[in-house]
Structure 1
Amino acid sequence: MSNAEESEHSRLARNLNELLQELRVAQAGVQILFGFLLSITFTDKYATAPTLVRGTHLVTVLCAAAAVALLTAPAAWHRVLFRQGRREDVVAAGNTFLLAGLGFLAVAMTGTVLLISEVIVGGWVAVLIGVAALLVYGALWFAMPLLTRDTSSKLGDDITDV
């Protein structure tokens, strides 16, 4: 069935299913990362870690927590609004939540790479590795898709067609 033949209801159902599938992938990763980050605070070495490392860890945990909140929000929206015929609102908000959640996840992953690099090599090399991680996430998750996006459609025109 071509997109022209697809009904509005079918398109929204497909969009919602695709969104939920994408969220499942991101949620698993961020939840594992969040658990790992929480466990670090209960190690003996953490108690003696420098303030910079502890501060980086806190920011990383907060970004991971924000990613969890954003990546689980569409499921809550769906559950609350699904019987009210608000699927289009759920898909549009879910798309925004997913993109914002991926941004916070990229920062949390970068912070994790930076923390591990600081323990292993330290100093400017750790910072360089952290910057490289941020560039990789930014390029793969945001810059490259935006560069390959069909420029004939306006940015908001297809928000519900995720």
Structure 2
Amino acid sequence: MRESDDRASEDDDWYRQARRETEVERLDRNWSDLVQELRVVQTGVQFLIGALLILPFQAPFGELSQPLRLLYLATVGAAIGATVFLVAPVSWHRILFRRHRLDSVVAAAHRCALAGVALLGLALTGAVILVVAVVAGTAEGVFAGAVVAALFLAIWVVAPWRWRRASMRVDR
């Protein structure tokens, strides 16, 4: 914990020097950046939920096997969970508005965004498995889901963490 506190202090110093930002200006910029990121993600999540919610009302849905129905429910759950987490920062901001708690809002919003993106990855993976399983077969669906999950992990998690670790070594 102490190392992360030291790192946060170094980051604060860097922002003060390089950007000439006060703490409040940095929080405002962080909040603005996060809201922009959430706008990009929320549209995709809303579309995904809309598409998933109409599926049970289609005649062929009744032909899905029990495992695919369970996967469907898990996928809908992940998509709704993603929505909850990706919209949560708005609620935090509204409830804490004018309470001088922007630091809390930004920290909570950051965590919510990470959880929302993780759930979105699960929902999209489930959706790919469902579509490919219905069109080409269960084995093909599982394979496609594994490929998509690996792609999400590589692009959304591994690559940024590697760049983050590399930048930490360079900064020292």
- TM-score norm. by structure 1 comes to 0.90
1:60-118 per-position Cα deviation (integer Å, ceiling 9, x unaligned): 00000000000000011011102101001000000000001000000000000000000
SS in structure 2 at match of 1:67: helix
In the alignment, does 2:112 pair up with 1:112?
A: no
Shift of 1:152: 4.4
Letter in 2 for 1:23: L
Pick the aligned partner of 2:32 from 8, 17, 20. 17
SS in structure 2 at match of 1:84: coil
Provide structure 2 residue ranges, at least 5 long, that are not aligned to the other structure. 1-13
In the alignment, does 2:77 pair up with 1:62?
A: yes
Partner of 2:62: 47
Pick the aligned partner of 2:138 from 99, 123, 126. 123
Q: What is the aligned-residue identity percentage?
A: 38
SS in structure 1 at match of 2:49: helix
Partner of 1:158: none
- TM-score norm. by structure 2 comes to 0.85
C-alpha separation in 2, matches of 1:49 and 1:124: 15
**Poorly superposed stretches of 4+, deviation over 6 Å:** none
RCO higher in structure (CA 8 A, sep ≥6): 1
Which protein has the larger Cα radius of gyration, Structure 1 or Structure 2? 2
Shift of 1:39: 0.7
Partner of 2:6: none
C-alpha separation in 2, matches of 1:97 and 1:63: 14
Using the TM superposition, name which of 3-12 and 35-44 deviates more. Answer: 3-12
Letter in 2 for 1:64: A
Aligned length: 152
Provide structure 1 residue ranges, at least 5 long, that are not aligned to the other structure. 154-162
Shift of 1:126: 1.5
In the alignment, does 2:132 pair up with 1:132?
A: no
Partner of 1:157: none
C-alpha separation in 2, matches of 1:118 and 1:48: 12
Shift of 1:52: 1.0
Letter in 2 for 1:131: A
